[in-house]
Amino acid sequence: MSKYLITGGAGYIGSHVVKQLIEKKNDIVIVDNLSTGFQKTVNTLKKYALTKKVKLGFYKLDLADSKKLETVFAKENVQGVIHFAASIVVSESVRDPLKYYSNNTGNTINLLKACLKYKVNKFIFSSTAAVYGDPDPKTIPLKESGITIPISPYGSSKLFNEKIIQDVAFANTNFKYVILRYFNVAGASVDGMLGQSTKDATHLIKIALETTLGKREKMFINGTDYNTPDGTCIRDYIYVDDLASAHIKSLYYLNKNKGGIFNCGYGKGFSVKDVISMMKKVSGNDFKVETTKRREGDPAIVIADNSKIVNEMDWKPKYDDLKIMCETALAWEKKL
Ligand SMILES: NC(=O)c1ccc[n+]([C@@H]2O[C@H](COP(=O)([O-])OP(=O)(O)OC[C@H]3O[C@@H](n4cnc5c(N)ncnc54)[C@H](O)[C@@H]3O)[C@@H](O)[C@H]2O)c1
């Protein structure tokens, strides 16, 4: 049994990872300022930890407060850190870049300093496909070794972190890291315990959910003139519990390896129209969809080459199925 510190564990992806860590009988310390995460999620996880007879501690704390953060490290004696906490809205990052560079990059430096001071040498970081920017279609599916030119401050803030983490690992022999580049994360836990509660939806599936449940009158497709079979953008959607299992695999991987960067996706894509059709099918509601012009900076196709994580970590996704992603997300959204 180990104890892990999870930043952002009250948020969408972090909470699903905490659940799997609990199932593997690990103790957990969540650090979250609840800016976009939820106390209710922490309460759910605390109850779950009790049933599995493991400990779950929660600190409502901003990573900017490095003094308090260090007191957590001093007290808790954790064996590793999984770092989810971040600001994640791409369009907001364009309007307010300093928020992203301070919360995502500056606060990651605070966290890394605490790790070095308290000799916590396993670090897993949530990166993003946004580091690839607007990729050349010839480079799809995207490999980790490919070109990274982010087109938003959000993507840049994550790419800076990748570089900083790698430099820290280079300078500190014992420090090991895994950087996971998530593609489009979707769905909610199959047992209905957890899901995405985020209030300001910017992701396609969330918007489709809100539309089918009547929280929005209609939704828009941004651009139908892309060079794709149906003219709409294509993305690689990964089910949140499969992504969570990639974090568990990463912890095992670090027992024997120094570190690396890994794409997390299924290696295939669905178009905006595919997703909307699936949502209409699973909800049984032919909700209103209108088309509008392209959004600036939306690449036509973003698909991962996932062979590295599959081969090197023996990651075996179980839910490579858009229907399950839409069904579980819908079941969760109905409860909000
Ligand atoms: N959702 C996606 O599709 C996606 C895709 C690629 C990468 N990611 C990355 O995954 C991670 C988790 O994303 P999510 O979708 O779960 O988002 P989320 O907003 O649900 O979770 C982020 C959590 O971090 C907390 N947080 C933010 N700033 C903090 C701070 N300064 N101190 C303490 N806590 C703080 C929030 O309260 C929240 O609980 C992020 O790093 C994000 O960049 C997400």
User: Residue 84: CB within 6 Å of ligand 1?
Assistant: yes
Q: How many angstroms separate the CA atoms of 123 and 115, rounded? A: 8
Lowest mean pLDDT among 60-69, 88-97, 194-203, 223-232: 194-203
Q: How many angstroms separate the CA atoms of 206 and 329, rounded? A: 8
* Per-residue confidence (pLDDT) for residue 297, from 0 to 100: 79
Strands 27-32, 3-7: pairing is parallel
The full DSSP string for 99-152 is HHIIIIIIHHHHHHHHHHHTT--EEEEEEEGGGG-S--GGGPSBPTTS----SS
Q: Separation of 11 CA from ligand 1 center, angstroms?
A: 6
pLDDT tens column, 13-31: 999 999 999 999 999 999 9
Estimate the crossing angle of helix 66-76 against helix 107-117, to 10 degrees.
Answer: 30
Q: Is position 213 within any domain?
A: no
User: Residue 40: CB within 6 Å of ligand 1?
Assistant: no
Q: Is position 334 within any domain?
A: no
* Per-residue confidence (pLDDT) for residue 47, from 0 to 100: 98
Contact 161, 105 (CB under 8 A): yes
Q: Separation of 132 CA from ligand 1 center, angstroms?
A: 19
User: Residue 187: CB within 6 Å of ligand 1?
Assistant: no
Q: Which residues are catalytic?
A: 154
CATH number at residue 164: 3.40.50.720
User: Residue 243: CB within 6 Å of ligand 1?
Assistant: no
Confidence of residue 235 (pLDDT cuts 50, 70, 90): very high
* Per-residue confidence (pLDDT) for residue 332, from 0 to 100: 97
Q: Is position 182 within any domain?
A: yes
pLDDT tens column, 105-138: 999 999 999 999 999 999 999 999 999 999 999 9
Confidence of residue 292 (pLDDT cuts 50, 70, 90): very high
* Per-residue confidence (pLDDT) for residue 58, from 0 to 100: 98
Judge whether residue 296 has pLDDT over 90: no
Report the atom number in ligand 1 closest to the C-alpha of 203.
3
Which residue has the CA at smallest separation from atom 42 of ligand 1? 88
Ligand 1 site-directed mutation target among 7, 36, 184, 238, most atoms within 8 Å of CB: 36
Q: How many CB atoms lie within 10 A of CB 119?
A: 10
Q: Separation of 116 CA from ligand 1 center, angstroms?
A: 23
User: Residue 285: CB within 6 Å of ligand 1?
Assistant: no
Contact 293, 233 (CB under 8 A): no
Q: Which of 205, 223, 209 is nearest to 290 (CA)?
A: 223
* Structural domain containing residue 81: 3-186+238-265
* Per-residue confidence (pLDDT) for residue 128, from 0 to 100: 98
* Per-residue confidence (pLDDT) for residue 166, from 0 to 100: 98
Q: Is position 218 within any domain?
A: no
Q: Is position 52 within any domain?
A: yes
Q: Is position 139 within any domain?
A: yes
- Segment 257-264 shows an average pLDDT of 97
Q: How many angstroms separate the CA atoms of 115 and 78, rounded? A: 10
- Our count of domains for the chain comes to 1
Beta partners for residue 263, in sequence order:
181
Judge whether residue 200 has pLDDT over 80: no
Written as one letter, the residue type at 226 is: Y
**Mean pLDDT for the chain overall:** 97
* Per-residue confidence (pLDDT) for residue 140, from 0 to 100: 97
* Per-residue confidence (pLDDT) for residue 294, from 0 to 100: 94
Confidence of residue 92 (pLDDT cuts 50, 70, 90): very high
Q: How many angstroms separate the CA atoms of 334 and 336, rounded? A: 6
* Per-residue confidence (pLDDT) for residue 43, from 0 to 100: 98
User: Residue 125: CB within 6 Å of ligand 1?
Assistant: no
Q: Is position 205 within any domain?
A: no
User: Percent of the chain beyond pLDDT 70?
Assistant: 100
* Per-residue confidence (pLDDT) for residue 231, from 0 to 100: 98
User: Residue 10: CB within 6 Å of ligand 1?
Assistant: yes
**Higher local confidence (pLDDT), 198 or 73:** 73
* Per-residue confidence (pLDDT) for residue 1, from 0 to 100: 81
Q: Separation of 73 CA from ligand 1 center, angstroms?
A: 21
Q: Is position 173 within any domain?
A: yes
* Per-residue confidence (pLDDT) for residue 199, from 0 to 100: 77
